[in-house]
C-alpha cells in the first residue's frame, strides 16, 4: 500500500491586501496546518486568524465542480465542450447583432495578475471592447485618482516597513486592526515600543482608535474639511516645508487660495471637532519628522472620495512627506489583489501598467504584439455597465470571481439589471448570488489549486504555488479564459502563468524586469521594476510621476454627503469583520472561522439602544429608501449615539448591507457612496 506524504507548499494569503505568505502543510487533500516562515517578506512569522484557519473551503461539498447550463428556471450539469460552445456562440451572437460594446467584462481582484491580464486581453483583443473593470471601482479607485492628480502614480508610495519606521501615523477611515491585521500589528508595535505617535480619524472607536494618542470623530462625510483646515493651519503657522515645495512641487501659489475657506471656525462648524483638537492634530504633524497617512473605504466610499484622497496627498506634499523613508501615502488595498487587477489592465481606460487606451503609441504597441486592431475609446466602468444594461446598451456580460449582486451598492437595483441581460456568463468557485442570473456557470479553481502571482498593497508582486489538483472538473481561471478566447477564434497557447507574465512584462514598462525566475520562492518585486530587475520599494525619491518630475498641489472643495431624507434618522456605517472576507463565500465555508463568527451584526450605542428598547441580541430591522435587512444587535460604545455600524461580510442576502445602500457615487471614479446612508431602525 502506498502511503501519501506530507507536502509543504508556499502560498500567498487571499484575504487582504497585506499579502502575507506562508507554507501550507497538506496530506492528500487534507490541510494539516499553516506555518509562517521568517523568510516571508511582509509578515515573517505572523498571520491573522483568516490566514491561519480560512482554507478548508477548498474541500467544501458546495464547490462548483462541473459547468452548469440554464434550462428554463433550473441549471443542469454539462460538459466543458458544451458549456464553452454555448459561451462562445452566446457572446458572438450579441457581438454580431449589437456590436462589441454591448458586452461587459467584470474581472476579479481575488484572482491572479496573469488571469486579470488575460481577461483584459480577451475583452480588448478578442471581443474589441474596453468595457472591462474590476472591484477596485468599489473601494480604492478614488484613492488612486487622488494620487494620480497629485503625485502621478496611484499606488502606496512606500512599504509597510515605512509605516513601522514613521514618527507619526495618521489613520483615516480605516480599521487595519480588523481589515489589515498584520500591518496593524507593525504599527501597534512601533507605537507601543518605539515612541511612534498615532492619530485616528473615524466614526467608530475601533481598536486602533482605542490605542491612539488622538482620536477624532468628525460628522459623517466631513473628512475633507478637517484635513483642509489642518493643512491651512500648518501653512498659516509657517509649519509647511518651503524648500521641498520650492524644489519638488508645482502650483503652490495657485493652490493656496483654495484653502482660504477652511478656517478653524468653519471646520469646527462643519465637522463638529473642536478647534483645539484640530490644532492638536496639526501640532502632532508639525512635531514629527516623518508622517505616513493610511486611509481606506471610510474615505473613498463617498461622493467626495477622490477629493478627500486628494486632500490627504496635498497635506503630505505641503509637509514634505513624500520620497523619504518613514513617510508617504498608504491607501490600504482591501482585496488580496485589488492592486494587481488594476495594475494588469482590467480597467476601462488603461492598459496594463496604467498606460491610456486612448494613447496612439501605446495602443500601437499592443496591436503589434496581439496582431489585432484595438478599440480607442475608454469603455464603461462597472457602475456604468449596470446603468447601460438598464438602458439596453449592454446586452451580455462575462464575470469572474466577483459576487456583484451582493457587493455592488443598491443590490436590489443591480439584480433587476441582471434580469435584463440577454446572455450572462459567471465563473466562480461557488454558486454565488450573481450566478442565479447566469446562462452559463463555469467552475473555477481557487488559489490553492493553481499557480500565479498577486500584488499586495505595497505594489509587491509575489508568487504562489499549487497545493492541490483542481477539484472535480474545475479549472484555473486563466485556463478557462484561454479556452473561451480560442473558442472565439483566437490562437492562444499559454502553457503556464509564467508565459503570461513574460508577455505582460514585455509590453508594460513598469513590469519590464518582472519574471517568475526573479520571483522564485520567497522573493518578491515591487513595481516599477527596471529591465535589470531593480525594483522600487520607495517611490518619489528623485522624481514624481509627471513628465516634469514635480508633484502638483490640487485644489479641492467640499461636497456635502448624500442624505436620503428626514425619516431615515440614524446614520449607517459599515465595514469588515476581522474573521471574515468580503461577501464571505470562502470564510463562511471554513469551519475554523465560521464556528467562531457565524453571522454579522449591527453595533448600536447604549443610549440609542435604551431609547428604542433594544438589547444585546435583539433582532432589529434597518430600512433605507432602497431596501431592508434584519440583523441581531450588539450594544457597544464603539459607535456614537445616532450612528450604527453594520458588519458587511455575509452570504445571507437578507442581512447584506447593499440591500440598503444607494446608487449615488464618487463624482470622479463612480465608486459607490457605501458609507453615506441613513436608515430607520426598528425592533422586530
Bond before 528 cis per omega within 30 degrees: yes
C-alpha distances (whole Å) from 152 to each of 134, 141, 318, 344 are 21, 14, 16, 18
Using alpha carbons only, what angle is made at residue 109 by residues 50 and 19, rounded to the nearest 5 degrees? 45
Q: How many CA atoms lie within 13 A of 474 on its CB side?
A: 26
C-alpha distances (whole Å) from 150 to each of 308, 324, 339, 452 are 12, 17, 19, 33
Among 24, 31, 40, 48, binds ligand SF4 (CB under 6 A): 48
Contact call for residue 203 and ligand SF4 (CB under 6 A): no
Q: Which stretch binds ligand SF4 (CB under 6 A): 11-19, 108-116, 418-426, 626-634?
A: 11-19
Q: Does 182 bind ligand SF4 (CB under 6 A)?
A: yes
DSSP string, 265-317: HHHHHHH---HHHHHHHHHHHHH-S-EEEEE-HHHHSSTTHHHHHHHHHHHHH
Which of 16, 111, 225, 405 binds ligand SF4 (CB under 6 A)? It is: 16
> What's the closest the beta carbon of residue 31 comes to ligand SF4, in angstroms?
15
Cα distances (angstroms) measured from residue 242 to each of 246, 342, 543, 551: 6, 35, 17, 14
Question: What is the DSSP-derived secondary structure letter of residue 138?
Answer: G
Segment contacting ligand SF4 (CB under 6 A): 177-185, 383-391, 427-435, 601-609? 177-185
Our CB check for ligand SF4 shows the closer of 51 and 345 to be 51
CB of 46 to ligand SF4, least distance (A): 7
Contact yes or no for 50/374 (Cβ under 8 A):
no
Q: Which of 173, 181, 353, 575 binds ligand SF4 (CB under 6 A)?
A: 181
Q: Which of residues 401-460 bind ligand SF4 (CB under 6 A)?
A: none
222 forms part of the interface with ligand SF4 (CB under 6 A): no
Regarding 586 and contact with ligand SF4 (CB under 6 A), the answer is no
Q: Tell the smallest beta-carbon distance from residue 620 to ligand SF4 (Å).
A: 29
Per-residue contact string for residues 130-169; x = within reach of ligand SF4 by CB under 6 A: ----------------------------------------
3-state secondary structure of 61: coil
In which region does residue 551 sit, left (phi positive, over 0), alpha (psi from -120 to 50) or beta (all else)?
beta
Nearer residue to ligand SF4 within complex by CB, 20 or 87: 20
Out of 20, 500, 510, 529, name the contact with ligand SF4 by CB under 6 A. 20
Give the phi and the psi of residue 260 in degrees, each rounded to 5: -50, -40
From 1-9, 18-26, 93-101, 208-216, give the range in contact with ligand SF4 by CB under 6 A: 18-26
Contact 146, 308 (CB under 8 A): yes
Is 83 an interacting residue with respect to ligand SF4 (CB under 6 A)?
no
Q: Does 13 help bind ligand SF4 (rule: CB under 6 A)?
A: yes
Piece of the chain touching ligand SF4 by CB under 6 A; list 99-107, 179-187, 210-218, 461-469: 179-187
Q: List % helix, strand, coil for the chain (3-state, nearest 5).
A: 35, 20, 45
Site string for ligand SF4, 99-118 (x = CB under 6 A): --------------------
* 43 is a site residue for ligand SF4 (CB under 6 A): yes
Q: Are 250 and 548 in contact (CB under 8 A)?
A: yes
47 binds ligand SF4 (CB under 6 A): yes
Site for ligand SF4 in 337-356 (CB under 6 A): none
**DSSP type of residue 71:** E
Q: How far is the CB of 52 from ligand SF4 (least distance, A)?
A: 7
Contact positions toward ligand SF4, by CB under 6 A? 13, 15-16, 18-20, 43, 47-48, 50-51, 180-182
Amino acid at each position: 500500500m502506498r502511503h501519501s506524504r506530507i507536502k509543504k507548499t508556499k502560498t500567498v494569503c487571499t484575504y487582504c491586501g497585506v499579502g502575507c505568505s506562508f507554507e501550507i502543510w497538506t496530506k492528500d487533500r487534507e490541510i494539516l496546518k499553516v506555518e509562517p516562515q521568517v523568510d516571508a517578506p511582509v509578515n515573517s512569522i505572523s498571520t491573522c486568524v483568516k490566514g491561519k484557519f480560512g482554507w478548508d473551503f477548498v474541500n467544501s461539498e458546495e464547490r462548483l465542480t462541473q459547468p452548469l447550463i440554464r434550462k428554463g428556471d433550473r441549471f443542469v450539469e454539462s460538459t466543458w465542450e458544451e458549456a464553452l460552445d454555448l459561451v462562445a456562440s452566446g457572446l458572438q451572437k450579441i457581438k454580431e447583432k449589437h456590436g462589441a460594446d454591448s458586452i461587459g467584462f467584470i474581472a476579479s481582484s481575488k484572482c491572479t495578475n496573469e488571469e486579470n491580464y488575460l481577461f483584459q486581453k480577451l475583452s480588448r483583443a478578442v471581443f474589441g471592447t474596453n468595457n472591462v473593470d474590476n472591484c477596485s471601482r468599489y473601494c480604492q479607485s478614488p484613492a488612486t485618482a487622488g494620487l494620480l492628480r497629485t503625485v502621478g502614480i496611484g499606488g502606496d508610495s512606500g512599504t509597510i516597513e515605512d509605516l513601522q519606521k514613521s514618527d507619526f501615523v495618521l489613520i483615516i477611515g480605516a480599521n487595519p486592526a480588523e481589515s489589515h491585521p498584520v500591518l496593524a500589528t507593525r504599527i501597534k508595535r512601533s507605537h507601543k515600543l518605539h515612541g511612534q505617535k498615532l492619530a485616528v480619524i473615524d466614526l467608530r472607536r475601533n481598536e486602533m482608535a482605542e490605542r491612539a494618542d488622538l482620536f477624532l470623530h468628525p460628522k459623517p462625510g466631513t473628512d475633507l474639511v478637517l484635513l483642509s483646515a489642518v493643512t491651512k493651519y500648518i501653512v498659516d503657522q509657517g509649519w509647511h516645508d518651503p524648500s521641498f515645495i520650492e524644489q519638488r512641487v508645482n502650483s503652490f501659489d495657485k493652490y493656496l487660495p483654495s484653502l482660504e475657506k477652511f478656517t478653524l471656525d468653519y471646520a469646527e462648524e462643519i465637522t463638529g471637532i473642536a478647534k483645539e483638537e484640530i490644532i492638536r492634530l496639526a501640532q502632532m504633524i508639525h512635531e514629527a519628522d516623518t508622517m505616513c497617512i493610511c486611509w481606506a473605504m471610510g474615505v473613498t466610499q463617498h461622493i467626495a472620495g477622490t477629493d478627500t484622497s486628494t486632500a490627504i496627498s496635498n497635506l503630505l506634499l505641503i509637509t514634505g512627506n513624500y520620497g523619504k523613508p518613514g513617510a508617504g501615502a498608504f491607501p490600504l488595498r482591501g482585496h488580496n489583489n485589488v492592486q494587481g487587477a488594476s495594475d494588469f489592465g482590467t480597467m476601462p481606460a488603461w492598459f496594463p501598467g496604467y498606460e491610456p487606451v486612448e494613447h496612439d503609441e501605446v495602443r500601437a504597441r499592443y496591436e503589434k504584439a496581439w496582431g489585432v486592431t484595438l478599440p480607442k475609446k475608454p469603455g464603461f466602468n462597472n457602475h456604468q455597465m449596470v446603468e447601460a444594461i438598464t438602458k439596453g446598451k449592454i446586452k451580455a456580460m462575462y464575470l469572474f470571481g466577483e459576487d456583484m449582486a451582493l457587493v455592488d451598492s443598491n443590490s436590489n437595483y443591480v439584480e433587476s439589471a441582471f434580469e435584463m441581460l440577454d446572455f450572462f456568463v459567471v465563473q466562480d468557485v461557488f454558486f454565488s448570488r450573481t450566478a442565479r442570473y447566469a446562462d452559463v456557470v463555469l467552475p473555477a479553481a481557487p488559489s490553492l489549486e493553481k499557480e500565479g502571482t498577486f500584488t499586495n498593497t505595497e505594489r509587491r508582486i509575489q508568487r504562489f504555488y499549487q497545493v492541490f489538483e483542481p477539484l472535480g472538473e474545475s479549472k484555473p481561471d486563466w485556463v478557462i479564459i484561454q479556452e473561451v478566447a480560442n473558442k472565439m477564434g483566437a490562437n492562444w497557447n499559454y502553457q503556464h502563468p509564467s508565459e503570461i507574465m513574460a508577455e505582460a512584462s514585455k509590453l508594460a514598462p513598469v513590469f519590464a524586469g518582472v519574471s517568475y525566475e526573479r520571483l522564485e520562492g520567497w522573493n518578491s518585486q515591487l513595481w516599477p521594476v527596471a529591465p535589470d530587475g531593480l525594483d522600487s520599494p520607495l517611490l518619489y525619491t528623485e522624481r514624481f510621476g509627471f513628465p516634469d518630475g514635480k508633484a502638483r498641489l490640487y485644489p479641492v472643495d467640499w461636497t456635502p454627503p448624500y442624505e436620503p431624507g428626514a425619516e431615515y434618522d440614524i446614520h449607517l456605517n459599515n465595514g469588515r469583520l476581522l474573521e471574515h472576507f468580503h461577501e464571505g463565500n470562502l470564510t463562511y465555508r471554513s469551519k475554523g472561522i465560521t464556528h467562531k463568527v457565524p453571522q454579522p451584526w449591527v453595533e448600536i450605542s447604549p443610549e440609542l439602544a435604551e431609547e428604542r428598547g433594544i438589547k444585546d441580541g435583539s433582532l432589529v430591522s434597518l430600512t433605507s429608501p432602497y431596501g431592508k435587512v434584519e440583523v441581531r444587535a450588539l450594544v457597544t460604545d464603539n459607535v456614537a449615539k445616532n450612528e450604527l455600524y453594520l458588519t458587511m461580510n455575509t452570504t445571507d442576502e437578507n442581512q447584506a448591507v447593499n440591500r440598503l445602500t444607494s446608487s449615488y457615487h464618487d463624482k470622479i471614479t463612480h465608486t459607490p457612496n457605501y458609507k453615506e446612508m441613513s436608515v430607520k431602525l426598528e425592533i422586530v
